[in-house]
Amino acid sequence: MAKPQGNHVKLLIGTRKGAFTLTSDPVRSKWNLEGPLYLGHIIHHYMCDPRDSNSQIMAMKAGHLGPTVFFSKDGGKTWKESSKPPQFPKAGASGDGNPEPDKNLAEMTEAAKGDENGKEGGEKKGSSVDLVFWITPGHESQPGVWYAGSAPPGMFITTDGGDTWTPVEGFNKYCQESDGLHGEGATPGGQLTHSILIDPRDAKHMYVSISVGGTFETTDAGVTWKPINKGIEADFLPDPDTEYGHDPHFVVMHPANPDRLYQQNHCGIYRLDRPDVKWVRIGNNMPKEVGDIGFPIVVHPTDTERAWVFPMDGTEVWPRTSPGGRPAVYETKDGGASWHRHDLGLPEEHGYFTVKRQAMCADAQLPLGLYFGTTGGEIWASIDEGASYSCIVRHLPEIYSITATLE
């Protein structure tokens, strides 16, 4: 299996209007921009396989067209569309297209009536994937396996590197049968399935999160799921002690200690150390005037105590821009007990950045490189472990995702 090689950092960039790549020189001082690929298409996530850098996947849709997935098996030189993109089973049929034996007769009759009546009736039954929002490479032991997350909430798996996708029926059934986990059109972009995390010690152990849904865990490869949201606040819900319905923005499993999870939530920054089941709000240690709201959270590849966030204004009507117009990255070196501001190189005022949840990442170089992309189409880089920043490209479309790999 080919592993990522070389000493040129390559950033895979998904934007609202196509995909780009940025490749560095060996010291990360100069960057070469290439693209666009699929100009005009909305690229929600553009990922490289850490098990095989020749394998890449893009989740995309276009303004008028339905969602799809493209995959490359030659490092992005050529791309092919999935012959079977992620999609839910047709209403009244099981995942393989056969009638569901235990389907309620009245429901089936209603579904059939909908089909007979055409568009109007058909809309009452069955979910359809509006967008593929998230792509995650599978476990090290399962080459060719990737997972995808969708809106409305859904999870899909490919075992052939992205050509054909099938529903993870356990997860999708769990969402369909749980109140509030199969919404369409809620939140900007719908309820997004994201942060699909696979335990490197056990391919059957995974966490998945849904915006305005919560975080969920499986230990049987996705057959059964349970919510894991204790300790997370949900000040937008009438019941603050609800089992689920929380709003994780981004959850990450620490690669050096898979029992440690960090979460940037709509209601703050949290940490969970398994086997505990109660999250701790480490964002309470952020400066009060900045708060602990944001979209992304990035962890150091080896130091379990270090993480970086990009705070945004979550007051009143939620501008989702840098608090006070003074963009900054905040870092913790002690697991969230304290946070340190880093704004060297960033605008000192009138910098109203928004950094979306997949638009911040780290490379694995020494010293560590940190990168974030803005909704204004800029990409900022730090090559000193997050201490200072420079803008390495401007004028791109709104940045949706950045992934770092090596070339």
Partner 1 sequence: MLVHIPSPLRSYTKGVSKVDAEGVSVDELLNHLDKQFPGIKFRMIDEQSRMRQHIKIFVNKESVDTVKAPLKSADEVHIICALSGG
Residues forming the site for partner 1 (CB under 8 A): 62-66, 68, 81-83, 85, 87-91, 115-120, 122-123, 125-129
Nearer to partner 1, 34 or 123 (CB): 123
CB of residue 394 to partner 1, shortest distance in Å? 24
Nearer to partner 1, 41 or 249 (CB): 41
In degrees and rounded to multiples of 5, residue 120 shows phi and psi of: -60, -50
Nearest Cα to Cα of residue 380 among 48, 61, 117, 28: 28
CB of residue 125 to partner 1, shortest distance in Å? 7
In degrees and rounded to multiples of 5, residue 118 shows phi and psi of: 85, -145
Nearer to partner 1, 130 or 363 (CB): 130
CB of residue 161 to partner 1, shortest distance in Å? 17
DSSP bridge pairs for 48 = 56
CB of residue 143 to partner 1, shortest distance in Å? 25
Distances (CA, A) of 245 to 187, 218, 225, 374: 12, 17, 15, 28
CA atoms within 13 A on the CB side of 44: 24
- CA 367/CA 337 separation, integer angstroms: 23
CB of residue 9 to partner 1, shortest distance in Å? 31
Nearer to partner 1, 56 or 87 (CB): 87
- CA 87/CA 193 separation, integer angstroms: 14
Nearer to partner 1, 163 or 305 (CB): 163
CB of residue 122 to partner 1, shortest distance in Å? 5
| The dihedral sign for the CA sequence 246, 252, 254, 259 | positive
Nearer to partner 1, 97 or 238 (CB): 97
Contact 254, 196 (CB under 8 A): no
